[in-house]
Structure 1
Amino acid sequence: MLTWTLWCGLVFLLWFYFLWSRRRFYLFTLKVPGPLGYPLLGMAHWLSRREDILNSFAVFLEKHGPVIFSWLGPIPFMIVSDPQVIQDIFTSPHCINKGIIYKAVDDGAGTGLFSLNDPHWSIHRKLLNPAFGHKVLLSFLPIFNRETALLMDQLKPLEDDGEKDLIPLLQCFTLSVATQTTMGSDAKSEENFRSNSLLERYQCALNTMADMCFSPWLNSRFIRQLVGKESEYYQAKTEIRQFIKKLIQKKMVADAQESSLPPIQAHDKNIFLNLATDLLRRGVFNWKNVEDESNIIVFGAFETTANTVYYTLMLLAMFPEYQEKAFEEIRSLFPDTGDFEVTYNDVQQMVYLDLILNESMRVVPPVPVVSRQTSQELKLSNGIVIPQGVQIAIDMFHMHRSKKIWGPEAETFNPDHFLPHNIQDKHPYAFIPFTKGIRNCIGWRYALISAKVTLAKLLRNYRFRTSFPFEDLYFVEDITLKLKVVPLIELQKRI
């Protein structure tokens, strides 16, 4: 018994020495600063709570600079908030694959454009790019306009009735828009949408996926069962899958019935689900590909757009002087209150609203941190060589708030940051709310047009106020950026 114990102890010590020596070797050869962390754990204990992750990153970056190296258990790990290094990473063919933390997304939403590895990602991206072409996006404007008019009808009972949480309303709105523009079907006809059950399922799935991303042991179904997370998560995944499958089947039946009618216009053919089902018929996609990609695209289209619109309204409520400037610009285009049609030409003329939207996404980026991993050695422009298999966290949150890049007011909200003379000398990768480079967000133009139409109508008809101070905002790392406490907003009718 004693001999067995000694052998186990010796093996453990040798393994411990191997890991520790490997860490020191990486730190010495890479010549990148960073916390060595604790034996076995590395820096994992600092990142175990989502509420603490962004603050921990801030401490590391303040102490070690904008590029740091450490360990998550036995896994080599970097945090980067330097624009040039980020450009090196995002434009490298050896750093296209997402980090291992996104395995949780595969489990919860399916393996699609968000998390596919290359070369499968490149193939899918090329096949699905037409779904977000310019003419297709223009064809969505009637939907954006119509759905925003319905949203304003829902807001009427809230006028001059104190501060409210508008996020659930905005999420229902953006989910309805997302299903119409990508799936060709209106989710509002579904019972689980009308009862808000579907939205609750989406939030459950998103929260559990985020837990799994940052607590990898939860990727085990057995562990989720032990801690009581599996049952609700499984029900959420199942209901969402059934919802998506129903939309796909409904669209395929409708297409079959319309096959005898005159050919549809080119932009209709390029609606996301039409492309995906056409690829299915041609044998390029299988059924799982269609289902997974549809699920991913709806997840992405509704969650980030709802948050972007809400956070922009929240910031304008906190900084009313900028809200009034935006209102004056919008009123010059639309003199009368009530509903009105926003055209693409109108969208292009909202120059100050562009500044506001950019500044909102700088201060409160829709996705604060994204992850990549090296598939081969990657040589940076500063001469550092990152080995194969290193996990890299691209910290957009702190780069967007860096005083070295954005000046002394970097941490506050001021649309003047995006005036031409202020932005012209900034590094092209200093502001990347939709990432950039080879694997940028496929729907970034969609998100901007949708958000501008929505904001134009809301800001023309309402003044937004809040008693919550900007300084008290506490940001929580998630798959998308969340707030520990969501500020409530009051709507005052404009005339």
Structure 2
Amino acid sequence: MPQLSLSWLGLGQVAASPWLLLLLVGVSWLLARVLAWSYSFYDTCCRLRCFPQPPKQSWFWGHLGLVHPTEQGLRVLIQLVAAYSKGFVTWLGPTMPLITLCHPDMIRTITNASAAIAPKDAVFYSFLKPWLGDGLLLSAGDKWSSHRRMLTPAFHFNILKHYVKIFNDSVNVMHAKWKRLVSEGSTRLDMFEHISLMTLDSLQKCVFSFDSNCQEKPSEYIAAILELSALVAKRHQQIFMHMDFLYYLTPDGQRFRRACRLVHNFTDAVIQERRRTLPDDGVDDFLKAKAKAKTLDFIDVLLLTKDKDGKQLSDEDIRAEADTFMFGGHDTTASGLSWVLYNLAKHPEYQERCRQEVQELLRDREPKEIEWDDLAQLPFLTMCIKESLRLHPPVTVVSRCCTQDIVLPDGRVIPKGVICLVSIFGTHHNPSGPDPAGAVYSPFRFDPENIKERSSLAFIPFSRGPRNCIGQTFARSTESKAVLSLSLVCFSCQFLR
């Protein structure tokens, strides 16, 4: 057997067996990879020195736990933004840097970058994949571009007009519950819980034309949606649960899988039932007739849409988009509505002005219902909604992964491969920004005269750029206005300390 000299390792002559050679090749490859990673990591650390860094929690955990998703955590974020107004770097553990940008001038480069240069970061969004699939929120590349074009008509005002009637009906159910609770002696309500059920009720009707009556009785599907949202939020805060093979061994992971199956089975059943009701011929004419009769829902729009080559969405794609709409549309809208009512309760003078504006619009109209054309005639209510979204954006941060070096306006460079967090909350509260308002609630900040000279990136509750929220007109301009208008006509909100 041939001999192999390993004197350079102090081992003398040894038999050169194939297994030993394979081991040496493997060790050499591993060593080369470790050295390459070490050099790349060192280079990234050197290039990040231009970004200020707050004190670490510990040498190993880095800044993990510095900013919790709580009210106290947001106070800490405000302090960080005040100290590092142009952005800062934090570490998730010992090896993962995160660049946080919180100034309109700095976030422009990231928000305006194409989806290929600054795609959504897989680390923070991957937990949603088993639930939402390859829908608009999580897809990338050509598939995202194609689906974005195909779904845009679903949010055209001709489609949204039909939904206003649904919002009226759902909010009337919620108000009936409130009146019943008041008659029974209740003086306090968990506003978010009631509004969340109302938004889910509306979404089920808009997406599936399905009335679960979830505001009045328990719904397995609605309970699963709420459970999935809570489990995803919880998992983000547990670093060891970021690994799938560990997470799905835990009770939370098993609950997540069960809830996913329930939600998917419901959506699949609706899609299959809808396909069975379609005629064998003239599908396009059938769906267009439904649109003309104002009975077209989100599933119908997805069945009708085609890409530039005339190809329709698969059932799997339709399920992903419907589930994404349900996820993206209920919690954020409910949060936004709850905060507006909170702020109006703290400022009764603004609340009363909103109420008078709505009453003047509705006047002697019976029943008191909002119509599509009314939504553009509520300027002060709109200002109140926007100011509340500035103070309390439902989505506080969006993350992007830089696929190439990105140069910021001040010359600093975000290295390729680094995760960049666009802090919506931090941008809205930046004392060095173009509108250093802090925590003062002032709807007049959005008076048309006051926004002329302001950067368009000073207010980004629905993000900005090519991957902004496709449903922002649905949420802010349609549902929020309809719900708030009717609520202020029927009820008065008071702030209880």
Alpha-carbon shift at residue 368 of structure 1 (Å): 0.9
For the 8 Å contact 2:100–2:421, the answer to whether it is kept is: yes
Query: Residue 187 of structure 1 aligns with which residue?
Result: 212
What does 1:190-209 correspond to in 2, within 5 Å?
Answer: 194-209=217-232
Query: Residue 43 of structure 1 aligns with which residue?
Result: 63
User: CA distance change for structure 1 residues 98 and 446 in 2, over 3 Å: closer, same or farther?
Assistant: same
User: CA distance change for structure 1 residues 466 and 336 in 2, over 3 Å: closer, same or farther?
Assistant: farther
1:145-183 per-position Cα deviation (integer Å, ceiling 9, x unaligned): 222223322222133731111323222221121122223
How many residue pairs end up in the alignment?
456
User: CA distance change for structure 1 residues 122 and 436 in 2, over 3 Å: closer, same or farther?
Assistant: same
For the 8 Å contact 1:170–1:306, the answer to whether it is kept is: yes
Determine whether 1:210 maps to 2:239.
no
CA distance in 1, matches of 2:281, 2:341: 42
For the 8 Å contact 1:99–1:373, the answer to whether it is kept is: yes
Unaligned 5+ runs, structure 1? 1-6, 469-495
1:89 to 110, 115, 119: 110
Determine whether 1:162 maps to 2:182.
no
Alpha-carbon shift at residue 205 of structure 1 (Å): 0.6
Alpha-carbon shift at residue 464 of structure 1 (Å): 1.0
2:394 to 366, 383, 406: 366
User: CA distance change for structure 1 residues 288 and 16 in 2, over 3 Å: closer, same or farther?
Assistant: closer
CA distance in 2, matches of 1:339, 1:202: 33
2:374 to 341, 346, 357: 346
1:43-82 per-position Cα deviation (integer Å, ceiling 9, x unaligned): 33535x5446534433433333331124323233200111
CA distance in 2, matches of 1:177, 1:199: 12
CA distance in 2, matches of 1:225, 1:137: 39
Query: Residue 458 of structure 1 aligns with which residue?
Result: 487
What does 1:338-487 correspond to in 2, within 5 Å?
Answer: 339-405=367-433, 409-448=437-476, 449-468=478-497
User: CA distance change for structure 1 residues 258 and 153 in 2, over 3 Å: closer, same or farther?
Assistant: farther
Alpha-carbon shift at residue 455 of structure 1 (Å): 0.7
CA distance in 2, matches of 1:32, 1:62: 15
Alpha-carbon shift at residue 226 of structure 1 (Å): 5.2
CA distance in 1, matches of 2:353, 2:299: 40
Alpha-carbon shift at residue 313 of structure 1 (Å): 1.1
2:98 to 77, 85, 88: 77
CA distance in 2, matches of 1:309, 1:388: 38
1:121-155 per-position Cα deviation (integer Å, ceiling 9, x unaligned): 11111111110012111222222222222332222
For the 8 Å contact 2:78–2:429, the answer to whether it is kept is: no
Alpha-carbon shift at residue 186 of structure 1 (Å): 2.9
1:425-463 per-position Cα deviation (integer Å, ceiling 9, x unaligned): 211100011111111100111112111011111101111
User: CA distance change for structure 1 residues 294 and 431 in 2, over 3 Å: closer, same or farther?
Assistant: same
For the 8 Å contact 1:316–1:323, the answer to whether it is kept is: yes
Alpha-carbon shift at residue 301 of structure 1 (Å): 1.6
TM-score, normalised to structure 1, is: 0.82
CA distance in 1, matches of 2:434, 2:494: 27
2:299 to 263, 266, 273: 273
CA distance in 1, matches of 2:369, 2:305: 35
CA distance in 2, matches of 1:125, 1:193: 35
Amino acid in structure 2 at the alignment position of 1:274: D
CA distance in 1, matches of 2:92, 2:266: 37
TM-score, normalised to structure 2, is: 0.82
1:277-334 per-position Cα deviation (integer Å, ceiling 9, x unaligned): 3459965433321211111111112221122112211221122111111111111112
Identity %: 24
Coordinate RMSD, CA, aligned: 3.3
CA distance in 2, matches of 1:72, 1:271: 42
What does 1:13-24 correspond to in 2, within 5 Å?
Answer: 21-24=42-45
User: CA distance change for structure 1 residues 233 and 248 in 2, over 3 Å: closer, same or farther?
Assistant: same
Query: Residue 17 of structure 2 aligns with which residue?
Result: none
Query: Residue 119 of structure 1 aligns with which residue?
Result: 142
For the 8 Å contact 1:331–1:460, the answer to whether it is kept is: yes
Determine whether 1:32 maps to 2:32.
no
Query: Residue 99 of structure 1 aligns with which residue?
Result: 121
Determine whether 1:248 maps to 2:274.
no
User: CA distance change for structure 1 residues 292 and 438 in 2, over 3 Å: closer, same or farther?
Assistant: same
For the 8 Å contact 1:80–1:394, the answer to whether it is kept is: yes
Unaligned 5+ runs, structure 2? 1-26
CA distance in 1, matches of 2:273, 2:208: 10
User: CA distance change for structure 1 residues 464 and 428 in 2, over 3 Å: closer, same or farther?
Assistant: same
Determine whether 1:315 maps to 2:343.
yes
Q: Secondary structure at the match of 2:331?
A: helix
User: CA distance change for structure 1 residues 99 and 269 in 2, over 3 Å: closer, same or farther?
Assistant: farther
Query: Residue 491 of structure 1 aligns with which residue?
Result: none
Query: Residue 321 of structure 2 aligns with which residue?
Result: 293
1:74-111 per-position Cα deviation (integer Å, ceiling 9, x unaligned): 23320011112212211111544112211011133322
2:133 to 80, 87, 110: 110
For the 8 Å contact 2:92–2:98, the answer to whether it is kept is: yes
CA distance in 2, matches of 1:321, 1:441: 32
